[in-house]
A and B are shown apart, each in its own frame.
Chain A
Amino acid sequence: MTELEFDYLRAYLKQRSGLALTPEKRYLVESRLTPVCRRFGLATLRDLVGTLKVARDSAIEKAVVEAMTTNETFFFRDRTPFDLFRDVLLPQAMARRAGQRRLRIWCAAASTGQEPYSLAILLQEAGVKLAGWQVEIVATDLSTEVIEKGKLGLYSHFEVQRGLPVQWLLKYFTQIGEQWQIAPSLRSMVDYRPLNLLNGFEALGTFDVIYCRNVLIYFDTPTKADILGRLADRLGPEGALLLGAAETVIGLTDRLSPNPQHRGLYGVAAPVVRAASPVAPPVSQLRVAAR
Protein backbone atom coordinates (compact mmCIF):
# COMPACT_ATOMS: atom_id res chain seq x y z
CA MET A 1 0.00 0.00 0.00
CA THR A 2 1.45 3.33 -1.05
CA GLU A 3 1.32 6.53 1.00
CA LEU A 4 -1.32 7.87 -1.36
CA GLU A 5 -3.50 4.79 -0.94
CA PHE A 6 -3.14 4.94 2.84
CA ASP A 7 -4.03 8.64 2.81
CA TYR A 8 -7.09 7.88 0.71
CA LEU A 9 -8.26 5.25 3.20
CA ARG A 10 -7.63 7.60 6.15
CA ALA A 11 -9.72 10.32 4.54
CA TYR A 12 -12.40 7.82 3.54
CA LEU A 13 -12.72 6.42 7.06
CA LYS A 14 -12.68 9.88 8.62
CA GLN A 15 -15.56 10.93 6.43
CA ARG A 16 -17.62 7.77 6.88
CA SER A 17 -17.12 6.93 10.55
CA GLY A 18 -15.16 9.78 12.11
CA LEU A 19 -12.25 7.44 12.75
CA ALA A 20 -9.08 9.52 13.01
CA LEU A 21 -6.13 7.34 11.99
CA THR A 22 -2.63 8.56 12.68
CA PRO A 23 0.17 7.57 10.24
CA GLU A 24 1.48 4.93 12.65
CA LYS A 25 -1.85 3.07 12.37
CA ARG A 26 -0.93 1.92 8.89
CA TYR A 27 -0.39 -1.62 10.23
CA LEU A 28 -3.95 -1.63 11.57
CA VAL A 29 -5.37 -0.73 8.18
CA GLU A 30 -3.35 -3.49 6.53
CA SER A 31 -4.23 -6.15 9.09
CA ARG A 32 -7.95 -5.36 9.19
CA LEU A 33 -8.61 -4.64 5.53
CA THR A 34 -6.65 -7.53 4.02
CA PRO A 35 -9.42 -9.99 5.08
CA VAL A 36 -11.98 -7.62 3.49
CA CYS A 37 -10.02 -7.83 0.22
CA ARG A 38 -10.13 -11.63 0.37
CA ARG A 39 -13.86 -11.59 1.12
CA PHE A 40 -14.61 -9.55 -1.98
CA GLY A 41 -12.13 -11.31 -4.27
CA LEU A 42 -9.71 -8.38 -4.43
CA ALA A 43 -6.02 -9.28 -4.64
CA THR A 44 -4.49 -6.29 -2.85
CA LEU A 45 -5.30 -3.19 -0.84
CA ARG A 46 -4.54 -1.21 -4.01
CA ASP A 47 -7.45 -3.02 -5.69
CA LEU A 48 -9.64 -2.21 -2.69
CA VAL A 49 -8.79 1.48 -2.89
CA GLY A 50 -9.41 1.42 -6.62
CA THR A 51 -12.82 -0.17 -6.07
CA LEU A 52 -13.78 2.37 -3.41
CA LYS A 53 -12.79 5.19 -5.74
CA VAL A 54 -14.75 4.10 -8.76
CA ALA A 55 -17.61 1.89 -7.63
CA ARG A 56 -20.57 2.62 -5.37
CA ASP A 57 -20.65 -0.82 -3.77
CA SER A 58 -22.36 -0.38 -0.42
CA ALA A 59 -21.41 -3.90 0.72
CA ILE A 60 -17.69 -3.18 0.34
CA GLU A 61 -18.04 0.32 1.80
CA LYS A 62 -19.82 -1.07 4.86
CA ALA A 63 -17.30 -3.90 5.25
CA VAL A 64 -14.39 -1.44 5.20
CA VAL A 65 -15.93 0.82 7.85
CA GLU A 66 -16.98 -2.07 10.08
CA ALA A 67 -13.61 -3.82 9.80
CA MET A 68 -11.91 -0.71 11.14
CA THR A 69 -14.30 -0.34 14.06
CA THR A 70 -13.04 -1.57 17.40
CA ASN A 71 -15.69 -3.64 19.13
CA GLU A 72 -13.81 -4.49 22.30
CA THR A 73 -16.28 -4.78 25.15
CA PHE A 74 -17.21 -6.99 28.06
CA PHE A 75 -19.79 -7.31 30.79
CA PHE A 76 -19.51 -4.70 33.57
CA ARG A 77 -16.43 -3.26 31.90
CA ASP A 78 -14.38 -1.19 34.38
CA ARG A 79 -17.00 -2.00 37.03
CA THR A 80 -17.13 1.55 38.51
CA PRO A 81 -19.56 2.96 35.89
CA PHE A 82 -21.96 0.16 36.78
CA ASP A 83 -21.57 0.50 40.54
CA LEU A 84 -22.27 4.19 39.98
CA PHE A 85 -25.42 3.37 38.03
CA ARG A 86 -26.74 1.01 40.70
CA ASP A 87 -25.79 3.11 43.73
CA VAL A 88 -26.18 6.71 42.54
CA LEU A 89 -27.63 7.31 39.08
CA LEU A 90 -30.55 4.89 39.25
CA PRO A 91 -31.79 6.00 42.70
CA GLN A 92 -31.43 9.67 41.67
CA ALA A 93 -33.25 9.16 38.38
CA MET A 94 -36.03 7.20 40.12
CA ALA A 95 -36.50 10.03 42.61
CA ARG A 96 -36.69 12.58 39.77
CA ARG A 97 -39.00 10.46 37.66
CA ALA A 98 -41.28 9.21 40.43
CA GLY A 99 -44.16 11.10 38.80
CA GLN A 100 -43.78 9.70 35.28
CA ARG A 101 -42.32 6.31 36.35
CA ARG A 102 -40.30 6.25 33.15
CA LEU A 103 -36.56 5.92 32.62
CA ARG A 104 -34.58 6.15 29.40
CA ILE A 105 -30.98 4.99 29.06
CA TRP A 106 -28.82 5.15 25.95
CA CYS A 107 -25.72 3.09 25.25
CA ALA A 108 -24.29 5.08 22.36
CA ALA A 109 -21.58 2.63 21.32
CA ALA A 110 -23.18 -0.60 22.45
CA SER A 111 -21.07 -2.96 20.33
CA THR A 112 -22.13 -6.58 20.86
CA GLY A 113 -24.46 -5.81 23.74
CA GLN A 114 -22.48 -6.46 26.91
CA GLU A 115 -22.90 -2.89 28.17
CA PRO A 116 -26.69 -2.59 27.72
CA TYR A 117 -27.20 -6.10 29.08
CA SER A 118 -25.05 -5.29 32.13
CA LEU A 119 -27.41 -2.38 32.80
CA ALA A 120 -30.44 -4.59 32.14
CA ILE A 121 -29.14 -7.06 34.75
CA LEU A 122 -28.77 -4.27 37.31
CA LEU A 123 -32.30 -3.10 36.54
CA GLN A 124 -33.64 -6.64 36.97
CA GLU A 125 -31.76 -6.90 40.24
CA ALA A 126 -33.44 -3.67 41.37
CA GLY A 127 -36.60 -5.76 40.97
CA VAL A 128 -39.55 -4.69 42.99
CA LYS A 129 -38.41 -1.07 43.25
CA LEU A 130 -38.95 -0.74 39.50
CA ALA A 131 -42.27 -2.60 39.39
CA GLY A 132 -44.69 -0.55 37.32
CA TRP A 133 -41.92 1.51 35.76
CA GLN A 134 -41.33 1.80 32.04
CA VAL A 135 -37.61 1.40 31.46
CA GLU A 136 -36.09 1.65 28.03
CA ILE A 137 -32.49 0.94 27.07
CA VAL A 138 -31.62 2.17 23.60
CA ALA A 139 -28.46 0.52 22.25
CA THR A 140 -26.86 1.97 19.13
CA ASP A 141 -23.76 1.14 17.15
CA LEU A 142 -22.28 1.97 13.79
CA SER A 143 -21.91 -1.69 12.87
CA THR A 144 -25.04 -3.62 11.91
CA GLU A 145 -23.05 -6.83 12.32
CA VAL A 146 -22.41 -6.26 16.03
CA ILE A 147 -25.99 -5.08 16.52
CA GLU A 148 -27.23 -8.40 15.17
CA LYS A 149 -24.97 -10.22 17.62
CA GLY A 150 -26.27 -8.02 20.42
CA LYS A 151 -29.87 -8.80 19.52
CA LEU A 152 -29.14 -12.52 19.64
CA GLY A 153 -27.48 -12.14 23.04
CA LEU A 154 -25.36 -15.22 22.39
CA TYR A 155 -21.87 -15.26 23.92
CA SER A 156 -18.91 -17.62 24.11
CA HIS A 157 -17.42 -18.98 27.34
CA PHE A 158 -14.66 -16.44 26.93
CA GLU A 159 -17.09 -13.54 26.64
CA VAL A 160 -19.29 -14.44 29.60
CA GLN A 161 -16.26 -14.80 31.83
CA ARG A 162 -15.07 -11.26 31.25
CA GLY A 163 -16.69 -9.33 34.08
CA LEU A 164 -19.91 -11.28 34.57
CA PRO A 165 -20.31 -12.67 38.10
CA VAL A 166 -20.96 -16.41 37.96
CA GLN A 167 -24.17 -16.16 39.97
CA TRP A 168 -25.63 -13.92 37.27
CA LEU A 169 -24.36 -16.25 34.55
CA LEU A 170 -26.46 -19.01 36.08
CA LYS A 171 -29.41 -16.74 36.80
CA TYR A 172 -29.73 -14.88 33.50
CA PHE A 173 -28.16 -17.12 30.83
CA THR A 174 -29.04 -20.43 29.23
CA GLN A 175 -26.30 -22.68 27.96
CA ILE A 176 -26.67 -23.60 24.29
CA GLY A 177 -23.89 -25.99 23.33
CA GLU A 178 -20.64 -24.09 23.75
CA GLN A 179 -22.40 -20.74 24.04
CA TRP A 180 -24.56 -18.87 26.52
CA GLN A 181 -27.68 -16.90 25.63
CA ILE A 182 -29.04 -14.10 27.77
CA ALA A 183 -32.63 -14.45 28.97
CA PRO A 184 -35.46 -13.20 26.71
CA SER A 185 -36.67 -10.94 29.54
CA LEU A 186 -33.36 -9.06 29.37
CA ARG A 187 -33.16 -9.07 25.57
CA SER A 188 -36.59 -7.47 25.40
CA MET A 189 -35.41 -4.57 27.58
CA VAL A 190 -32.89 -3.44 24.95
CA ASP A 191 -33.89 -1.65 21.75
CA TYR A 192 -31.07 -1.98 19.20
CA ARG A 193 -30.70 0.56 16.43
CA PRO A 194 -27.90 1.23 13.92
CA LEU A 195 -26.48 4.72 14.33
CA ASN A 196 -23.45 6.61 13.13
CA LEU A 197 -22.60 9.20 15.79
CA LEU A 198 -21.46 11.56 13.04
CA ASN A 199 -25.06 11.82 11.91
CA GLY A 200 -27.94 13.48 13.74
CA PHE A 201 -29.52 11.63 16.63
CA GLU A 202 -32.17 14.13 17.74
CA ALA A 203 -34.87 11.60 16.87
CA LEU A 204 -33.79 9.38 19.77
CA GLY A 205 -35.31 11.86 22.24
CA THR A 206 -33.83 12.68 25.64
CA PHE A 207 -32.33 10.36 28.21
CA ASP A 208 -31.75 10.13 31.94
CA VAL A 209 -28.41 8.38 31.51
CA ILE A 210 -26.12 8.12 28.47
CA TYR A 211 -23.19 5.73 28.29
CA CYS A 212 -20.78 6.77 25.53
CA ARG A 213 -17.63 5.01 26.60
CA ASN A 214 -14.41 4.33 24.74
CA VAL A 215 -15.57 5.61 21.38
CA LEU A 216 -14.62 9.30 21.39
CA ILE A 217 -10.97 8.30 21.70
CA TYR A 218 -11.04 7.31 18.02
CA PHE A 219 -12.19 10.75 16.83
CA ASP A 220 -10.28 13.97 16.24
CA THR A 221 -10.86 17.03 18.45
CA PRO A 222 -13.50 18.86 16.34
CA THR A 223 -15.50 15.63 15.96
CA LYS A 224 -15.34 14.92 19.70
CA ALA A 225 -16.53 18.46 20.45
CA ASP A 226 -19.38 18.18 17.97
CA ILE A 227 -20.58 14.82 19.34
CA LEU A 228 -20.31 15.95 22.97
CA GLY A 229 -22.38 19.05 22.22
CA ARG A 230 -25.07 16.95 20.61
CA LEU A 231 -24.98 14.40 23.46
CA ALA A 232 -25.61 17.30 25.86
CA ASP A 233 -28.74 18.08 23.84
CA ARG A 234 -29.98 14.52 24.44
CA LEU A 235 -29.64 14.73 28.23
CA GLY A 236 -32.52 15.71 30.43
CA PRO A 237 -31.90 18.65 32.81
CA GLU A 238 -30.29 16.45 35.46
CA GLY A 239 -29.19 13.69 33.16
CA ALA A 240 -25.85 11.92 33.40
CA LEU A 241 -23.25 11.16 30.75
CA LEU A 242 -20.61 8.49 31.33
CA LEU A 243 -17.44 8.53 29.26
CA GLY A 244 -14.51 6.11 29.19
CA ALA A 245 -11.60 6.46 31.57
CA ALA A 246 -9.40 8.00 28.87
CA GLU A 247 -12.05 10.48 27.72
CA THR A 248 -13.09 13.91 28.97
CA VAL A 249 -15.17 16.96 28.05
CA ILE A 250 -12.57 19.39 29.31
CA GLY A 251 -11.33 21.65 26.55
CA LEU A 252 -13.96 20.30 24.16
CA THR A 253 -17.28 21.75 25.26
CA ASP A 254 -18.69 23.98 27.95
CA ARG A 255 -22.08 22.30 27.63
CA LEU A 256 -21.04 19.50 29.98
CA SER A 257 -19.20 19.60 33.26
CA PRO A 258 -17.38 16.87 35.17
CA ASN A 259 -18.91 15.60 38.38
CA PRO A 260 -16.25 16.33 41.01
CA GLN A 261 -17.19 13.26 43.04
CA HIS A 262 -17.21 10.64 40.31
CA ARG A 263 -14.54 10.27 37.65
CA GLY A 264 -15.96 9.74 34.18
CA LEU A 265 -19.37 11.18 35.08
CA TYR A 266 -20.59 14.39 33.46
CA GLY A 267 -23.73 16.49 33.71
CA VAL A 268 -25.25 19.33 31.77
CA ALA A 269 -23.35 22.47 32.74
CA ALA A 270 -25.23 25.36 34.30
CA PRO A 271 -25.73 28.13 31.75
CA VAL A 272 -22.88 30.59 31.85
CA VAL A 273 -24.15 33.94 33.08
CA ARG A 274 -22.11 36.55 31.25
CA ALA A 275 -21.24 39.58 33.34
CA ALA A 276 -23.23 42.57 32.13
CA SER A 277 -21.20 45.23 30.35
CA PRO A 278 -20.39 47.94 32.84
CA VAL A 279 -22.68 50.89 32.39
CA ALA A 280 -20.88 54.16 32.22
CA PRO A 281 -21.67 56.13 35.33
CA PRO A 282 -23.45 59.41 34.88
CA VAL A 283 -21.17 62.31 34.15
CA SER A 284 -22.12 63.91 37.48
CA GLN A 285 -20.69 60.92 39.38
CA LEU A 286 -17.51 61.01 37.36
CA ARG A 287 -17.06 64.55 38.42
CA VAL A 288 -17.57 63.52 42.06
CA ALA A 289 -15.10 60.70 41.73
CA ALA A 290 -12.56 63.01 40.22
CA ARG A 291 -12.46 65.25 43.25
Chain B
Amino acid sequence: MTNDPAETRTCLVVDDSAVIRKVARRIIETLGFAVTEAEDGSDALLRCAEAMPDVILLDWNMPNVDGYAFLQALRQRPGGTGPKILFCTTENDVGAIARALRAGADEYIMKPFDRDILTAKLEQVGVVQADAA
Protein backbone atom coordinates (compact mmCIF):
# COMPACT_ATOMS: atom_id res chain seq x y z
CA MET B 1 0.00 0.00 0.00
CA THR B 2 1.74 3.13 -1.14
CA ASN B 3 1.24 6.42 -2.85
CA ASP B 4 4.85 6.55 -3.98
CA PRO B 5 4.89 7.80 -7.59
CA ALA B 6 7.54 5.17 -8.34
CA GLU B 7 4.93 2.51 -7.65
CA THR B 8 1.90 4.02 -9.33
CA ARG B 9 -1.22 2.02 -8.64
CA THR B 10 -3.53 1.14 -11.48
CA CYS B 11 -7.29 1.22 -11.66
CA LEU B 12 -9.59 -0.11 -14.37
CA VAL B 13 -12.95 1.65 -14.60
CA VAL B 14 -15.58 -0.57 -16.22
CA ASP B 15 -18.87 1.10 -17.08
CA ASP B 16 -20.99 1.42 -20.21
CA SER B 17 -21.62 5.09 -19.40
CA ALA B 18 -18.89 7.38 -20.73
CA VAL B 19 -20.01 10.05 -18.25
CA ILE B 20 -19.55 7.75 -15.23
CA ARG B 21 -16.14 6.65 -16.53
CA LYS B 22 -15.07 10.25 -16.96
CA VAL B 23 -16.22 11.27 -13.46
CA ALA B 24 -14.59 8.22 -11.86
CA ARG B 25 -11.36 8.72 -13.80
CA ARG B 26 -11.14 12.33 -12.68
CA ILE B 27 -11.52 11.39 -9.01
CA ILE B 28 -9.27 8.34 -9.06
CA GLU B 29 -6.47 10.10 -10.92
CA THR B 30 -6.31 12.76 -8.19
CA LEU B 31 -5.55 9.92 -5.77
CA GLY B 32 -2.43 9.04 -7.74
CA PHE B 33 -3.73 6.12 -9.81
CA ALA B 34 -3.09 5.44 -13.47
CA VAL B 35 -6.57 4.81 -14.89
CA THR B 36 -7.69 2.73 -17.85
CA GLU B 37 -11.26 2.34 -19.04
CA ALA B 38 -13.48 -0.41 -20.45
CA GLU B 39 -17.07 -0.06 -21.64
CA ASP B 40 -18.23 -3.60 -20.85
CA GLY B 41 -17.09 -6.89 -19.31
CA SER B 42 -15.69 -8.23 -22.56
CA ASP B 43 -13.55 -5.13 -23.08
CA ALA B 44 -12.50 -5.29 -19.41
CA LEU B 45 -11.24 -8.87 -19.77
CA LEU B 46 -9.05 -7.74 -22.66
CA ARG B 47 -7.64 -4.90 -20.55
CA CYS B 48 -6.89 -7.31 -17.72
CA ALA B 49 -5.11 -9.65 -20.13
CA GLU B 50 -2.85 -6.76 -21.14
CA ALA B 51 -2.10 -5.71 -17.56
CA MET B 52 -3.81 -6.79 -14.37
CA PRO B 53 -4.87 -3.64 -12.44
CA ASP B 54 -4.64 -3.19 -8.67
CA VAL B 55 -8.28 -2.25 -8.37
CA ILE B 56 -11.36 -2.41 -10.61
CA LEU B 57 -14.39 -0.14 -10.31
CA LEU B 58 -16.97 -2.44 -11.82
CA ASP B 59 -20.45 -1.54 -13.05
CA TRP B 60 -22.90 -4.40 -12.67
CA ASN B 61 -25.40 -3.84 -15.47
CA MET B 62 -23.68 -3.69 -18.84
CA PRO B 63 -24.39 -5.04 -22.33
CA ASN B 64 -22.53 -8.12 -23.63
CA VAL B 65 -20.57 -9.42 -20.62
CA ASP B 66 -22.03 -7.90 -17.45
CA GLY B 67 -20.21 -7.27 -14.18
CA TYR B 68 -21.19 -10.60 -12.65
CA ALA B 69 -19.98 -12.66 -15.65
CA PHE B 70 -16.81 -10.58 -15.89
CA LEU B 71 -15.98 -11.14 -12.22
CA GLN B 72 -16.52 -14.89 -12.43
CA ALA B 73 -14.26 -15.10 -15.50
CA LEU B 74 -11.63 -12.81 -13.98
CA ARG B 75 -11.33 -14.72 -10.74
CA GLN B 76 -10.53 -17.94 -12.65
CA ARG B 77 -7.69 -16.38 -14.62
CA PRO B 78 -4.04 -16.51 -13.52
CA GLY B 79 -3.54 -13.43 -11.32
CA GLY B 80 -7.28 -12.77 -11.43
CA THR B 81 -7.71 -12.92 -7.67
CA GLY B 82 -5.30 -10.01 -7.25
CA PRO B 83 -7.38 -6.95 -8.14
CA LYS B 84 -9.66 -5.49 -5.49
CA ILE B 85 -13.18 -5.18 -6.89
CA LEU B 86 -15.43 -2.23 -6.10
CA PHE B 87 -18.83 -3.29 -7.33
CA CYS B 88 -20.82 -0.27 -8.48
CA THR B 89 -24.51 -0.11 -9.33
CA THR B 90 -27.86 1.56 -8.85
CA GLU B 91 -29.30 -1.70 -7.46
CA ASN B 92 -29.31 -1.00 -3.76
CA ASP B 93 -31.12 -3.99 -2.32
CA VAL B 94 -29.62 -6.50 0.07
CA GLY B 95 -29.93 -9.34 -2.46
CA ALA B 96 -27.89 -7.51 -5.11
CA ILE B 97 -25.18 -6.61 -2.64
CA ALA B 98 -24.95 -10.12 -1.21
CA ARG B 99 -24.80 -11.61 -4.72
CA ALA B 100 -21.91 -9.32 -5.65
CA LEU B 101 -19.99 -10.27 -2.52
CA ARG B 102 -20.55 -13.96 -3.16
CA ALA B 103 -19.21 -13.48 -6.68
CA GLY B 104 -15.99 -12.10 -5.23
CA ALA B 105 -16.47 -8.35 -4.94
CA ASP B 106 -14.55 -6.69 -2.08
CA GLU B 107 -16.68 -3.59 -1.62
CA TYR B 108 -19.86 -2.04 -2.86
CA ILE B 109 -20.59 1.48 -4.11
CA MET B 110 -24.08 2.72 -4.73
CA LYS B 111 -24.54 5.22 -7.54
CA PRO B 112 -24.44 8.14 -7.47
CA PHE B 113 -21.10 8.36 -5.71
CA ASP B 114 -18.81 11.28 -4.99
CA ARG B 115 -15.13 11.76 -4.24
CA ASP B 116 -15.53 11.14 -0.49
CA ILE B 117 -17.32 7.85 -0.98
CA LEU B 118 -14.98 6.58 -3.67
CA THR B 119 -11.94 7.54 -1.59
CA ALA B 120 -13.38 5.89 1.51
CA LYS B 121 -14.03 2.67 -0.38
CA LEU B 122 -10.51 2.64 -1.86
CA GLU B 123 -9.20 3.07 1.68
CA GLN B 124 -11.38 0.25 2.93
CA VAL B 125 -9.98 -2.22 0.41
CA GLY B 126 -6.47 -1.06 1.29
CA VAL B 127 -5.31 0.48 -1.98
CA VAL B 128 -5.27 4.04 -0.62
CA GLN B 129 -3.84 5.07 2.72
CA ALA B 130 -6.32 6.68 5.11
CA ASP B 131 -4.42 9.97 5.23
CA ALA B 132 -3.73 10.16 1.50
CA ALA B 133 -7.03 11.78 0.55
Chain A residues near B (Cβ < 8 Å): 74, 78-80, 157-158, 161-163, 165-167, 169-170, 175, 178
Which residues on A sit within 8 Å (CB–CB) of B98? 170
CB distance from A121 to the nearest CB of B (A): 14
CB distance from A244 to the nearest CB of B (A): 13
**Would you call B69 an interface residue if the criterion is a C-beta within 8 Å of the partner chain's C-beta atoms?**
no
Which B74-133 residues have a C-beta within 8 angstroms of A? Answer: 92-94, 97-98, 101, 107-110, 113, 116-117, 120-121, 123-124, 130-131
Report the bound CA distance from A166 to B117 in whole Å. 12
Task: Evaluate contact between A166 and B101: CB separation under 8 angstroms.
Answer: yes
Task: Evaluate contact between A157 and B110: CB separation under 8 angstroms.
Answer: yes
Task: Evaluate contact between A170 and B97: CB separation under 8 angstroms.
Answer: yes
CB distance from A73 to the nearest CB of B (A): 12
Which residues on A sit within 8 Å (CB–CB) of B110? 157-158, 161
Counting contact residues on chain B (CB < 8 A from A), the size range is: 10 to 19
Report the bound CA distance from A74 to B109 in whole Å. 15
When the two chains form the complex, which single residue of A74, A158, A175, A178 contacts B94, counting CB atoms closer than 8 Å? A175
CB distance from A81 to the nearest CB of B (A): 10
For this complex, 14 residue pairs linking A to B, each with C-beta atoms less than 8 Å apart, are: A79-B123, A80-B130, A157-B92, A157-B110, A161-B113, A162-B116, A162-B117, A162-B120, A163-B120, A165-B107, A166-B108, A169-B108, A170-B97, A175-B94
Number of A-B residue pairs at CB separation under 8 A: 39
Which residues on B sit within 8 Å (CB–CB) of A167? 101
Which residues on B sit within 8 Å (CB–CB) of A166? 97, 101, 107-108
Please give me the residue from chain A that is nearest to B86 by CB atom.
Answer: A166
If A79-B123, A165-B124, A166-B107 touch, whether A175 touches B93 (CB-CB below 8 Å) is yes
Report the bound CA distance from A78 to B132 in whole Å. 11
Report the bound CA distance from A80 to B107 in whole Å. 19
Report the bound CA distance from A165 to B105 in whole Å. 12
Please give me the residue from chain A that is nearest to B116 by CB atom.
Answer: A162
Report the bound CA distance from A23 to B101 in whole Å. 50
Which residues on A sit within 8 Å (CB–CB) of B107? 165-166
Report the bound CA distance from A167 to B87 in whole Å. 13
Which residues on B sit within 8 Å (CB–CB) of A161? 109-110, 113, 117, 120-121
Report the bound CA distance from A166 to B94 in whole Å. 10
If A161-B109, A161-B117, A163-B120 touch, whether A169 touches B97 (CB-CB below 8 Å) is yes
Report the bound CA distance from A170 to B93 in whole Å. 10
Which residues on B sit within 8 Å (CB–CB) of A74? 116, 120
- Add 14 more A-B contacts to A79-B130, A166-B97 (CB < 8 A): A80-B131, A157-B92, A158-B117, A161-B113, A161-B117, A162-B116, A162-B120, A163-B120, A166-B108, A167-B101, A169-B97, A169-B108, A175-B93, A178-B92
Which residues on B sit within 8 Å (CB–CB) of A80? 130-131
Report the bound CA distance from A80 to B129 in whole Å. 11
CB distance from A277 to the nearest CB of B (A): 47
Tell me which of B93, B94, B98, B123 has the highest count of chain A C-beta atoms within 10 A of its own C-beta.
B94
Which residues on A sit within 8 Å (CB–CB) of B117? 158, 161-162
Please give me the residue from chain B that is nearest to A75 by CB atom.
Answer: B120
Which residues on A sit within 8 Å (CB–CB) of B113? 161
When the two chains form the complex, which single residue of B92, B94, B124, B131 contacts A170, counting CB atoms closer than 8 Å? B94
Tell me which of B108, B120, B123 has the highest count of chain A C-beta atoms within 10 A of its own C-beta.
B120
CB distance from B34 to the nearest CB of A (A): 25
Report the bound CA distance from A79 to B123 in whole Å. 9
CB distance from B105 to the nearest CB of A (A): 8
